[in-house]
Chains A and B, each alone.
Chain A
Amino acid sequence: MSGALAAGLALAALAVVLSGVLLLAGRFLHVDEDRRMEKLVSLLPGINCGACGQPGCRAFAEALLSGEAVPAGCSVSSAKARQRVADFLDVPVGEAERRVARLACAGDRNAARFLADYQGEPSCAAAAVVGDGGKACVWGCLGLGDCERSCDFDAIEMSPSGLPVVDEAKCTACGDCVRACPKDLFSIVPELQPLWIACNNPLEGNDLLETCKVACTACERCIRDAPDWLTLKRNLPVPIEGAKGRPPRSAIDRCPTGAIIWIEDGHPQSGASARLPRVLRARQQTT
C-alpha cells in the first residue's frame, strides 16, 4: 500500500516539476508571431515556387507583413487573389513588373544541324552528357522537353519541330524551367522588353551558319542600330540594364539570320532581312 502511495507521490512531484519547466520555457522561449500570419499564408498560392524572390510563400508572407514586399510581388496569383491579400493587409496592391521566361535558342529541327541521332534516356539532362545530344551547336536546345515537364503551370509546350514554346500569358516566372534546362537557355525577363536574342552560341563568324541557320554570328548590326539598348557580351547582343525608353523596332531589321527577334503581345517577329529567302540574302551580301 505504501509502495503505491510513494509511487503516486513521486509521479505527482514529477508532474509539478515538469509543468514548471514547461511554464518557464513557455515564458522565456516564446516567439511573437503576427496573428495575421496563418490567414495570410492561406491567401497565397502555397506552391513555394520562389518567383517572388523569397524562398517560399511563408517567407513572402513575412516580407509582406514587414512591408518589404507588396502583394503584386507574387506573380503567380491572379489579380483577384492579389487584391484579396491587399484588402486583408489594408495596403495598396502595388506594382511589380510582370516577368516571363524566354528561350535563348531558335534552332529547331529545321534550322539547326544534327550530327547524330541520340537514342538514350529521353531527357535533356541525360542527352547533354552524351556527345551533347547529337546537335552540332553544343549550346543549343536539345528539344527533349525537360522544361515542359518541369512547368507546373502548363505554360511550356514542345513544338512539333522540337523547341519549347512559352505561353507568356500562363507563365508565372517561377523559374522552374530555368533550373531544368541543362544548357541554361531560359531567362526570366520583363514581359515588356521587346528585344530578345534567341541564340546562345558564343562563337562568331559566318561559319556558324553551317551548324545553325538562325545562329547569331556576332555581326553587331543590331548593336549599331540600337547602341543605347544593346551591348555585346560573349559574342551575343544583350539588352543594357536600365536603358531608358523603348528600343527602336528597326534594331532587328538588319539581322541576317533572324537571331534577334521583336516580341509584341507575346508573339516573336523576326527582322525584315531574315525573312528574305536565302538566295536573295546571298545576292544582297555580295552586292
Chain B
Amino acid sequence: MRVFGRRPAFSGGIRLPAHQRREAEATIRQLPFAPRLLLPLRQHAGAASTAVVRAGDEVFRGQLLARADNDSAVPLHAPATGHVLRITEQPDALAGTVQVIELAALAGDTQEYTGGESHDPDRCSADELLAAIHEAGIVGLGGEAGSTHRRLVHARERAVRVLVINGIEGEPGFSRVPAMLARHGADVLAGLRCLRKVLGVERAVLAVETPDGAAARNLLEAAPGGTLPALRVLPPRYPQGAAGLLVRTLAGGAVDGHPAFAADEAVVFSLATVAEVGRMLSGGLAMTDQVITLAGEGLREPGNYRVPLGTPVGFALEQAGMRPEPDRVLAGGPMRGQALAALDRPIVKGATGFVAVAAGETADVPASMPCIRCGECVAACPLELHPAELGFLARRDEWQAMVEDFHLDRCFECGCCAYVCPSHIPLVQMFRTAKAQWRRAQARPAVEAAT
C-alpha cells in the first residue's frame, strides 16, 4: 500500500488551466506557397550552410540549395519550384550577418515534389538511414532546432539504451502533439523504427500528457505490430516537456513493470521530429516544410498548419485569418515566446509556432513592485534555482555572481518565476538580459585582443 504519492522527479513548475483537446486541434491544414520565400543559410542551431545556387538559377522543389560543410550544419533544400531572385546579407542574431536566399515561387506550377529515393527502415542499414537523415536536412522540431543527424551521432557515441519520444506540448495553447498523433501516426511509427535502428536501441518510451493520452493509446493499439514503445501518460505540468526534466521524470523508479533507467542512458526526440523522420525517409523527401501551430485571439482560424520553409510570418498569419493590427506577435508560445519586431521575417526550420495576441487578450501587467521574499518563484523554479536572489543580482548587474554562484546558465527561461511572482517582477526577462550581457562581457576580452 502506498501512503504517500510518488515524489515528483523535479519540484516546481506550474499547473496551467486544465485543457480538453478539441477535434479541430487534431487537424493540419496546408498553407499555400508565399510568392517570395526567404531562406537564411542558418536556420538551425549550428554553423551556416554554404549556398550551391546563384541568383537567377531555376530550382525545383526539393533541390539542394545549400550544403553542410560542418558537423553542426544541415543541408537546405528548395521549398518550392521557382527561381532564386537574389542572395543577400541580412542581420543575424548569432553572428552579425547571414546569407539569405530569396526564392520566387513559380506561380501556377503544380509544385510537384521531385523527391529522392525512399528509405525503408526495415531494409536499409543503420548507417544508410543515418546518412539519409543528414541529407534530408532534418533538425529537431521540439524548439531546439539542432541537427538531428548530429544528435544521433552523439547518442550513438555515448551508447544510449532508451529512446524517449517527447509527446509533451512545449507550450500551452499549442496542438502539434494531437495533430501528429492523429495525422502522422504511421510516420511516427516509421520514424520510431528508423531511430531505433540507427541507435541500436531496443527500448522506447512515448511520453504524453493526459489530454493526449487516449490518442496515443489508440495509435499504439492500432499499430500493425512489432516492438511498441511503452506509453507514459503524465498529468499536465509546465514545463515537464523540457528534455532534461522529462528524462528525470521517466527515469525515476520502476513504473508499470518497466524497469528504471539512468537519466544519462536516454536520448530524447520530440514527437514532431520522429514523425518528420518517418515521413521524409519513407517518402524520399527533404525537410522543405514543417507543421507549426498558429494560435491566439488575433487569428480567425488558429490551428496547425504545414508551412513551406521561408514563408514570411505575416503571410502565414494572414492565411490563418489574422485580424487587423494584432497587439503583438510572439515567435514561440505564450510562455517562452519572444515578441517579433517585424512580420516579414521567415519561418525557419525548427520553429514551433506563433501567437498573434489580440489587443485586450492579455491582462495588463501592473507595474512591478519590490520583492517581498515570499518564495513563490523559488518553489516554482523546476531547476531549483533561486530566482529572487538572481533578480536582486540582476538589478545590480552582477552577472558573474549570477552565473558562477547561482547557476544562471542552467536556466532555460521557462518563465515560471515571472508567471507566479505576486509583485509582477519581470524575472525571466531580467535573466535573459543578464545572460546576453554576460555573454558580451565574456566575449569582450577576445574582441579587444583581436582589434
Residues of A participating in the B interface, judged by any CB pair closer than 8 Å:
115-116, 120-121, 123, 125-126, 128-136, 138-139, 179, 182, 184, 202-203
Cβ < 8 Å to A, chain B residues 312-343: 328, 338-342
Cβ < 8 Å to A, chain B residues 336-386: 338-342
B436 touches A138 (CB 8 A): no
Query: In the assembly, what is the distance between CA of A203 and CA of B328, in Å?
Result: 28
17 contacting pairs across A/B (C-beta < 8 A): A116-B340, A120-B429, A121-B433, A125-B436, A126-B429, A128-B433, A128-B436, A129-B433, A130-B339, A130-B429, A131-B341, A138-B91, A184-B440, A202-B89, A202-B97, A203-B91, A203-B97
A123 touches B433 (CB 8 A): yes
Q: How far is the CB of B405 from chain A (nearest CB, A)?
A: 21
Q: How far is the CB of B223 from chain A (nearest CB, A)?
A: 44
Residues of B participating in the A interface, judged by any CB pair closer than 8 Å:
89-91, 96-97, 328, 338-342, 426, 429-430, 432-433, 436-437, 440-441, 444, 447
A-B contact count (CB 8 A): 56
A130 touches B338 (CB 8 A): yes
B432 touches A129 (CB 8 A): yes
Q: Kindly list chain A residues whose C-beta atoms are within 8 Å of the C-beta of B429.
A: 120-121, 126, 130
Q: Kindly list chain A residues whose C-beta atoms are within 8 Å of the C-beta of B341.
A: 115-116, 131-135
A129 touches B97 (CB 8 A): no
Query: In the assembly, what is the distance between CA of A271 and CA of B51, in Å?
Result: 39
A116 touches B342 (CB 8 A): yes
Query: In the assembly, what is the distance between CA of A179 and CA of B438, in Å?
Result: 11
Residues of A contacting B: mostly: loop
Residue from B340, B430, B440 in contact with A126 in the complex, judged by beta carbons closer than 8 Å: B430
Given pairs A121-B433, A131-B338, A132-B91, 14 additional interface contacts (CB within 8 A) = A115-B341, A116-B328, A120-B426, A121-B426, A121-B429, A121-B430, A123-B433, A126-B429, A133-B341, A138-B91, A179-B444, A184-B440, A202-B96, A203-B97
Contacts A121-B426, A182-B437, A203-B97 given; does A131 touch B340 at CB 8 Å? yes
Query: In the assembly, what is the distance between CA of A98 and CA of B257, in Å?
Result: 76
Query: In the assembly, what is the distance between CA of A130 and CA of B444, in Å?
Result: 21
Query: In the assembly, what is the distance between CA of A134 and CA of B89, in Å?
Result: 19
Residue from A128, A139, A179, A203 in contact with B89 in the complex, judged by beta carbons closer than 8 Å: A203
Q: How far is the CB of B193 from chain A (nearest CB, A)?
A: 41
Query: In the assembly, what is the distance between CA of A150 and CA of B338, in Å?
Result: 27
